[in-house]
């Protein structure tokens, strides 16, 4: 792509971001917001109108701002057309699948989860096809969040300790279900996707340095700095569930013993309590919390889980120094049953008084956080100027 093409895409992204973050504006207003020349904004808006991405707002849609008298026809405010261009986010997990559709304005058009059943991939593909049919806007991309190490090509599953996934077959299956090119489908680690969602829509919004911890069968982390993911040299950053923390004898799904998730993951809690898993981690955790309200032994189990959680967070805090740690998934219904002991251990294990304990927050986006982050990931190439906004085909 030529330098001219790169500049055009960057300028288009600046206009789209302005409309997304700050709402409707006239062409002159967009020029003022973005610092672009009025002629440049006019050309970009013409392209966006041709692509069906923007629409002139009526006076009823947007209150008119006082303006100095000027010659010619007044410029009407422009806004992003709802649902015209969308990103699809999917999550394939051990016991559930999710799908989220988000448009360019950041509006969540669909958010749905289902129990995974025996054939997880088939359930996911059926859900993907259904939500795509319900939202026929121009599809900017599809991202699948998986609890796995994914290579930095965003398609190849290198290691999935809790799922029978390997290689890039999932990309082809999703592309076939959606009748789209395989190049339009990406696969990304679920913790990274959930962290991205919490940074842009949830508990880590506005935080420069945040760590997100998943809470499902496995434990993973997403690291966010300045609103962007830190993925490491091979794309594997955040694989914290297999740190040797907690009970050194506890068997892990990876085949080893003593992994962190073998002590603080959902299955570890259920095994300790002798409870069965329900349809989703959230409903299961709610049942655990209800039992702990009347059962001292259950509270003691969660106290131990919280202590092991705090021990691992102390290590991560020493390495990453996050301002905020967001705990998602099954940790949310448990709340202070695990946060209290985690905070105490974290305080006790920080190496120096000058270290600041990160604020521990519960996630706000429930189990669909990873799918929401995946949907945002699908929009990111256009919103950052890395790709052109497609013009829909006629009809």
**Which residue shows structure tokens 């289902």?**
114
* Helix H or strand E encompassing 225: strand 221-225
Residue 392 lies in a domain: no
Alpha helices in the chain (DSSP H): 3-22, 27-34, 38-50, 120-134, 169-178, 190-201, 261-264, 266-273, 281-292, 296-320, 331-334, 336-349, 369-383
Residues 345 and 375 in one domain: no
The domain boundary residue, chosen from 43, 63, 80: 80
Residue 391 lies in a domain: no
The domain boundary residue, chosen from 58, 80, 102: 80
What tens-digit pLDDT sequence spans the chain (395 residues)? 468 889 999 999 999 999 999 999 999 999 999 999 999 999 999 999 999 999 987 644 444 444 444 454 556 899 999 999 999 999 999 888 999 999 999 999 999 999 888 899 999 999 999 999 999 999 999 999 999 999 989 999 999 988 999 999 999 999 999 999 999 999 999 999 999 999 989 999 999 999 999 988 889 999 999 888 898 888 899 999 999 999 999 999 889 999 999 999 999 999 999 999 988 889 999 999 999 999 999 999 999 999 999 999 999 999 999 999 999 999 999 999 999 999 999 999 988 888 889 999 999 998 889 999 999 999 999 999 999 998 665 44
Residue 53 lies in a domain: yes
Residues 124 and 174 in one domain: yes
Residue 10 lies in a domain: yes
In the chain, what's the furthest Cα-to-Cα distance?
79
Strand order in the sheet with 221-225: 228-229, 221-225, 209-213, 324-327, 359-362
Residues 219 and 359 in one domain: yes
E-only strand ranges, 16-166: 54-56, 78-80, 85-92, 96-103, 108-115, 138-146, 149-150, 157-159
pLDDT of residue 352: 84
**Residue 254 burial (10 A CB sphere; 0-12, 13-18, 19+):** middle
The SS3 of residue 153 is coil
Strand order in the sheet with 108-115: 108-115, 96-103, 85-92, 138-146, 185-189
Q: How many domains does the chain have?
A: 3
Residues 355 and 249 in one domain: yes
Residue 199 lies in a domain: no
Closest CA to 90 of 68, 116, 59, 65: 116
Residues 113 and 184 in one domain: yes
pLDDT of residue 140: 96
Residues 242 and 328 in one domain: yes
Residue 198 lies in a domain: no
The token pair at 106 is 């950041």
Q: Is the pTM of this model over 0.85?
A: yes
Distances 78 to 46, 58, 171, 200 between C-alpha atoms, Å: 11, 9, 36, 23
As a residue count, the chain comes to: 395
pLDDT of residue 4: 86
Residues 211 and 359 in one domain: yes
pLDDT of residue 222: 95
Domain of 109, in residue numbers:
85-193+370-383
How far is residue 233's CA from residue 217's CA, in Å, rounded to a whole number? 26
Residue 200 lies in a domain: no
48, 56 Cβ separation under 8 angstroms: no
pLDDT of residue 180: 95
Residues 90 and 186 in one domain: yes
pLDDT of residue 101: 98
Residues 72 and 147 in one domain: no
Residues 303 and 246 in one domain: yes
**Which residue shows structure tokens 């940074």?**
199
Cα angle: 377, vertex 378, 383; to 5 degrees: 80
Residues 355 and 374 in one domain: no
Residues 271 and 133 in one domain: no
């Amino acid at each position: 792509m030529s330098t001219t093409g790169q500049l055009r895409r960057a300028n288009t992204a600046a206009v789209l971001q302005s409309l997304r973050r700050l709402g409707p504006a006239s062409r002159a207003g967009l020029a003022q917001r973005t610092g672009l020349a009025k002629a440049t904004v006019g050309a970009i808006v013409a392209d966006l109108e041709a692509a069906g991405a923007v629409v002139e707002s009526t006076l009823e849609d947007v209150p008119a701002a006082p303006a100095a008298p000027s010659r010619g026809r007044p410029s009407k405010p422009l806004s992003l057309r709802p649902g015209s261009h969308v990103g699809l986010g999917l999550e394939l997990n051990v016991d559930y699948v999710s799908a989220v559709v988000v448009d360019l304005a950041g509006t969540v058009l669909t958010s749905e989860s289902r129990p995974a059943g025996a054939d997880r991939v088939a359930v996911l593909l059926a859900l993907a096809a259904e939500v795509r049919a319900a939202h026929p806007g121009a599809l900017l991309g599809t991202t699948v969040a998986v609890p796995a190490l994914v290579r930095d090509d965003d398609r190849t599953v290198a290691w999935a300790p809790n799922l029978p996934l390997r290689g890039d077959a999932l990309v082809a299956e999703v592309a076939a279900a959606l009748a789209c090119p395989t190049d339009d489908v990406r696969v990304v680690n679920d913790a990274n996707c959930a962290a991205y969602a919490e940074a842009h829509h949830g508990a880590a919004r506005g935080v420069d340095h945040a760590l997100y911890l998943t809470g499902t069968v496995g434990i993973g982390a997403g690291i966010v700095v300045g609103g962007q993911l830190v993925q490491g040299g091979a794309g594997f950053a955040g694989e914290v569930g297999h740190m040797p923390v907690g009970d050194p004898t506890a068997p892990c799904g990876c085949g080893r013993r003593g992994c962190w998730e073998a002590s603080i993951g959902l299955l570890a809690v259920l095994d300790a309590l002798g409870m069965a898993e329900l349809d989703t981690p959230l409903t299961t955790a709610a049942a655990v919390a209800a039992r702990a309200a009347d059962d001292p032994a259950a509270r003691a189990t969660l106290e131990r889980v919280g202590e092991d959680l705090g021990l691992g967070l102390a290590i991560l805090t020493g390495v990453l120094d996050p301002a905020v740690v967001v705990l998602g998934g099954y940790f949310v219904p448990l709340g202070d049953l695990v946060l209290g002991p985690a905070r105490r251990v974290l305080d006790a294990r920080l190496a120096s008084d000058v270290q600041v304990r990160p604020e521990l927050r519960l996630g706000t986006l429930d189990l669909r956080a990873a799918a929401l982050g995946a949907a945002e990931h699908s929009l990111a190439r256009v919103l950052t100027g890395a790709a052109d906004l497609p013009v829909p085909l006629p009809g």
